[in-house]
Amino acid sequence: MRLLAGTTGPGSADRPDAVTVAGRALSTEALLGAALAVAGDVRGAAAVAVDATPSLETVVAVVGGLLAGAAVVPVPSDAGPAERDHILRDSGAELVLGPGATPVDVTRRGGGTLPAPAPGDAALIMYTSGTTGAPKGVVHTHGSLEAGVDAVAEAWDWTAGDRLVHGLPLFHVHGLVLGVLGALRAGSPLVHTAKPHPERYAAAGGTLYFGVPTVWSRICAQPSAARALSRARLLVSGSAALPVPVFERLYALTGHRPVERYGMTETLITISSRADGPRRPGHVGFPVQGVQTRVDAEDGGIGELWVRGPMLLRGYVHQPADLVDGWFRTGDIARKDPDGWHRIVGRASTDLIKSGGYRIGAGEVEDALLAHPAVREAAVIGTPHADLGEAVTAYVVVSAGVGEHELQDFVARHLSVHKRPRVVHLVDALPRNAMGKVQKKRLGGPML
């Protein structure tokens, strides 16, 4: 099939280490043979679920399902019983591949040829985080996946000569679509470190590294591991905004200004910095190949981001995509600079704070807080306020003794006074999901 052209297409090289996960490797030929064996088992099924653990079995199961023409449903490895049951029922998965279900044997080999799915056929059903209700199944086609991975490959000069390293979950766009399918389509070897530990990244010898801000922050905390990445070609950060201090620290240690990019489950990657261009801290760059963007800006140039392009979802399970003339409302708040650079401020529901008639982006205040040498983590939200409408409220993890008033004054010296936090909570940790994103809906809950 076309999505895996770099691995299965005519003339593709048989690499002995096409995919390595947690130290176990499969050659190109072995991967294809094992995937064809799975394809033979599931052929005819409309949808097949895969327990997405960080393993060779997951890679083989996903590739096998795609080769068979089934819609593959990655089930998060940390899903609780209720979430797992919802995903399986809602997606209509006819079979579950993975531990405790139908096991995948990577030593089996299948053969023969299978008809290539049509570009409009469903390829993946990926479930959103469900922050506003039960998770929704996002349906991506073979065509949208191809467009998505080809666009980032063009932006990042990603070729078969690269060696990709990451340790991200295999049930999200970042880890699965980019981190597995992207590597297979490019024909570049993939090293998955099982977990994104700094020392494992340092030892992997990659040219291309993927990470989320938490990963890069932890790598910066181990300078020897960070310096080992100086031999790489490109470091890519995504899934959440990379704090400016982490960007600058990573550059100081590795000599690399990381590429930042923006995407969603529904859209794949639509905006990115480029391998052959500058990178600007706190910004995600420009639309990738085939993408148009617009920002419905009001005062301050901040507004909701809309995107249009060939990598958008086909729809949701049981309902069509809510597109307006092909445009998708992301629900994210952005600023588009006069020179075309995009900066993501945050989610409309949690990161656009309307206080005293001002529109304040939470990300800008978070960056200001993170510039304080004692601040390790920061999350900012708006909370109800009788006079202002919403008050800028910060939750901060500090590494040394620092008081609420000192942090408020620090922000006021760096930003407009009206942007300073009215309330600062000093906490031990911030609630995060598997991709390292802060779960702002939980701020103020029992964990604090």
CATH at residue 87: 3.40.50.12780
Task: Write out the H or E segment, with its range, that includes residue 200.
Answer: helix 198-203
With tokens 């704090």, the residue in question is 243
Last residue of a domain, one of 283, 312, 344: 344
User: What residues make up the domain containing 358?
Assistant: 350-442
Number of domains in the chain: 2
One-character DSSP codes across 35-98: HHHHHHHHTT-SEEEEEE-SSHHHHHHHHHHHHTTPEEEEEETT--HHHHHHHHHHHT-S-EES
Nearest 10 degrees: CA dihedral of 241, 362, 302, 173?
A: 30
pTM for this model (two decimals): 0.82
Domain identity same for 247 and 359 = no
pLDDT value, residue 300: 58
Nearest to 137 by CA among 81, 89, 82, 80: 89
Domain identity same for 78 and 227 = yes
Q: At residue 56, what is the residue type?
A: L
Run means of pLDDT, 10 residues per run, the chain, 448 residues: 56 80 96 96 96 97 97 90 90 94 95 91 87 78 97 98 96 95 96 96 97 91 96 93 89 97 96 96 96 82 92 95 93 90 80 74 85 90 82 91 90 84 92 78 56
Domain identity same for 392 and 427 = yes
Domain identity same for 318 and 358 = no
Domain identity same for 402 and 336 = no
Report DSSP state, residue 244. H
Kindly report the backbone phi and psi dihedral angles of residue 85, in degrees, each rounded to the nearest multiple of 5, phi listed first. -65, -40
Last residue of a domain, one of 312, 344, 376: 344
Domain identity same for 202 and 132 = yes
Identify whether 102 is part of a domain.
yes
Q: Who's near 320: CB < 8 A, 6+ residues apart?
A: none
pLDDT value, residue 81: 85
Last residue of a domain, one of 311, 344, 377: 344
Identify whether 330 is part of a domain.
yes
pLDDT value, residue 1: 45
Give the three-class secondary structure for 138: strand
pLDDT value, residue 7: 60
Count Cβ atoms within 10 A of the Cβ of residue 121 and give its class: 0-12 exposed, 13-18 middle, 19 or more buried: middle
Domain identity same for 307 and 370 = no
Identify whether 51 is part of a domain.
yes
What span, in angstroms and rounded, lies between the C-alpha atoms of 378 and 217?
A: 13
Identify whether 316 is part of a domain.
yes
Identify whether 354 is part of a domain.
yes
Contact 257, 118 (CB under 8 A): no
Give the three-class secondary structure for 433: coil
Q: Is the dihedral of CA 51, 55, 57, 59 positive or negative?
A: positive
- Distance (Å) of CA 295 to CA 101, 159, 350: 45, 32, 18
Identify whether 448 is part of a domain.
no
pLDDT value, residue 196: 94
pLDDT value, residue 446: 36
Domain identity same for 117 and 201 = yes
With tokens 């009215």, the residue in question is 422
Angle at 312 between CA 306 and CA 313, to 5 degrees: 120
Residue 73 token pair = 């449903």
